[in-house]
Every structure is written in C-alpha cells, then in structure tokens.
C-alpha cells in the first residue's frame, strides 16, 4: 500500500487526555437509542444486530436507520445530535434539537412524527435486545449536548478518520473477494465498523471487522481494532489487535500509522 490517504480526508484532533470523550459518548449513546428503538420497532430484518445496525454517512456526519415503511429512516447528526426523519433519503421539515429536551419529550415527538406518516404507533417500543445502564428516562433529566460540543466535534472527526481509512483499505482489497463496503455503527456501544474480505492462507475467503471504538466506562480511551466478523450478536468479539488514539496523536503521520496498523494486522490474518 504505497498510496497515501489524501491529507484532506484526515481530520486532526487535539490530545486532551483519555477521558476527554466520556461526556460526548454518554450524550450520543443516549440520543442514539431512539434510532435503535425505532429500528427495532419498524425495520423488517433478522437477526436483531442487522436490524439495529445504523448506517454512517460521512458527508453530513449522520447515523441513520435502515429504511422502513414507505422509505422512511431516522437519523441524528453530529455534533449537535439533531434528530430528523427522512423520506426517500430526503430530510422532512421537522427537526428535533435534543438540547434541554427530556426523554419523554423526544418520545412524544417521535410518536407524533410516526402518526403524521400513517404508521401504527402501537408497534413502537422502547425495548431493545441489549442493556445499557443509566440511560436517561422520563421527565426528570434532559439531554445536554451543547455542553460538550468540542468533544462531540472531536468524536465526529475520529468517525470521519475511521470511515476514510476503511474506504482506503477497501480500495486496495482483493477485487475477487471484495464486497460493497458498508460502514455501520453499533447502537449499543457506538463502535464504527466495516467488514473487509481477505484471502486467507488456505485460499479461502476470510471476513474481518475493522473497527473504531469511542471508548467505554472500563477503558475510556478510544481505539481502533481488527476482529473476526461476527454478525449475529451484540457482544464485542475479542480483537486480534488494537491501536489507541494516544499513539496516533503523537505520531507525525497519524493517517499512515493507522493504515499500517490495519494493513499489518490484516496481512498477518491472511497467513493464518
């Protein structure tokens, strides 16, 4: 891989410590659950992991559900976490800014939007097939993304860097085994992932997952990773290798370092 990722595709992010994105991650994961709930209620796909996976759109920094009903989808956009329905890929007139809104208010907005589009509101459920502790609920608490806009913008930059790197590596993949690249987000942990097909040492096709994690409660520092492509569950497969963003933040050529990490790990997996 002698080509370089175009400099315009790499978004620099300042180093502010491993816990810098904690509040942004908490705000985002709370708002993203509304997309997950709508998808779980209306998207017709199995298994659940496929139904709930969110599409990533780099051009506008958006996470979007798969389409359902009459070509409807629901999205949020970073860094504001603005929520909006789309019909046939086009934004509908009404947007919801989550700042200062309670979960009960967001739920009411979603139900009204569903009603206006003739959907059966009785199908809507807040249940999802995974557990996230301490999510905001009811009227007692409100979303507050404006207090961490710098952090949310930084998280958006890392998502954009991840997506650009996945696309770069996909272009260099073996055309004989290369499927269309789809970058998705797992709503239960906000991991951004793409599956890459490679030819293994036994000449059989292998499917590996390239991923970016915004960190978690046990390990707050975001990191990139390569793991096996497990499509059926919500448990994170043990990565073959990881690269923390603190390493990239002190590297003079972070994009090249990240590409080398993925390329080296994928090459090692090809020989196994």
Token digits of residue 27 = 């705000």
Residue 177's pLDDT is 47
Instruction: Give average pLDDT by consecutive 10-residue segment, the chain, 272 residues.
Output: 68 82 96 97 91 94 95 97 95 94 96 92 93 88 96 96 92 56 90 84 75 90 89 71 94 93 89 75
H or E element in which residue 167 lies: helix 149-171
For residues 164 and 7, is the Cβ–Cβ distance under 8 A?
Answer: no
Phi, psi of 245 (to 5 degrees): -70, -20
For residues 106 and 30, is the Cβ–Cβ distance under 8 A?
Answer: no
Residue 32's pLDDT is 98
Residue 160's pLDDT is 96
pTM: 0.92
For residues 246 and 176, is the Cβ–Cβ distance under 8 A?
Answer: no
Where are the extended beta strands (E) located within 183-247? 184-186, 191-199, 205-213, 223-228, 241-244
Return the closest-CA partner of residue 244 out of 223, 264, 215: 223
What is the separation of C-alpha 48 from the centre of its chain, rounded to a whole number of angstroms? 16
């Amino acid at each position: 891989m002698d080509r370089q990722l175009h400099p315009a595709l790499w978004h620099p992010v300042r180093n502010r410590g491993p816990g810098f994105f904690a509040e942004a991650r908490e705000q985002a994961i709370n708002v993203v659950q509304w997309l997950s709930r709508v998808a779980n209620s209306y998207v017709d796909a199995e298994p659940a992991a496929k139904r709930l996976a969110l599409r990533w759109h780099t051009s506008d920094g958006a996470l979007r559900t798969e389409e359902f009903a009459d070509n409807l989808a629901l999205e949020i956009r970073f860094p504001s976490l603005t929520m909006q329905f789309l019909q046939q890929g086009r934004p509908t007139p009404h947007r919801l800014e989550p700042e200062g809104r309670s979960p009960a208010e967001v739920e009411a907005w979603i139900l009204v939007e569903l009603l206006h589009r003739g959907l059966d509101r009785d199908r809507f459920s807040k249940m999802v097939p995974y557990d996230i502790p301490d999510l905001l609920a009811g009227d007692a608490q409100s979303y507050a993304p404006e207090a961490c806009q710098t952090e949310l913008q930084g998280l958006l930059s890392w998502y954009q860097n991840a997506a650009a790197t996945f696309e770069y590596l996909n272009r260099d993949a073996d055309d004989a085994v290369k499927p269309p690249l789809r970058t998705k987000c797992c709503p239960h942990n906000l991991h951004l992932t793409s599956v890459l097909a490679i030819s293994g040492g036994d000449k059989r096709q292998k499917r590996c997952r390239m991923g970016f994690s915004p960190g978690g409660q046990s390990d707050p520092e975001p990191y990139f990773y390569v793991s096996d492509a497990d499509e059926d569950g919500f448990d994170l497969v043990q990565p073959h290798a990881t690269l923390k963003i603190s390493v990239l933040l002190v590297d003079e050529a972070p994009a090249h370092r990240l590409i080398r990490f993925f390329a080296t790990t994928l090459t090692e997996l090809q020989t196994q």
